[in-house]
Amino acid sequence: KKIVEEVKYSGSVPSCHGDEHAHPAPMGCGFFKLWSQSKLDGIPPPKFDSEEGKAAIIEAGGVYECLSGTHEEKVVYINFVPETTIAPKADDQAFVVDAWITGKYNLDVPKYLIAAASTVEQLNGPLKAKLIVPDPNNKASSLTDLKSLCCCLPN
């Protein structure tokens, strides 16, 4: 609950997802599944289960999304554009790693990015990654059109 309150206090909306194939549904988040099974080196497992995490997020006014269909992520986006994220698209699925949060929440950058990469690898995800960096010519503060606001650098 502490991190959920911290996210809310910072002005962000806490959120999580699951899918229609997992039981319980919140376990459909691949990162949470690996984390709860102690499969992410150097990151101790949570002291709560997926349903308790979902409940804490909803209780704080956050959002839970149940993803549908098969997982067919084609790319990993590593987003460095502050205060933005990439909305999920059912017909164009991607793993999204909002790397900018490492600064906002004082996280260990290498540990965070290694955990993200490990998650993708262990879930047999895409081998293509794109770094999304701020466009120095654009002063926009929200990500509404990925192509106009960011420079994408293929791996």
Q: For every one of its 155 residues, what pLDDT tens digit does the chain have, with 9 covering 90 and above?
A: 788 888 888 888 888 888 887 777 777 888 888 999 999 988 999 999 989 999 999 998 888 888 777 777 778 889 999 888 887 776 777 888 999 999 888 889 899 889 988 888 898 888 788 889 888 877 543 343 343 333 333 33
Consecutive H or E run containing 121: helix 109-122
Would you state the pLDDT for residue 89?
Answer: 73
Closest CA relative to residue 114, chosen from 97, 90, 126, 131? 97
Residues in the chain: 155
- Strands 15-19 and 63-67 come out as parallel
What pLDDT shows up at residue 37? 93
User: How far, in whole angstroms, is CA 58 from its chain's centroid?
Assistant: 17
Tokens of 79: 């987003």
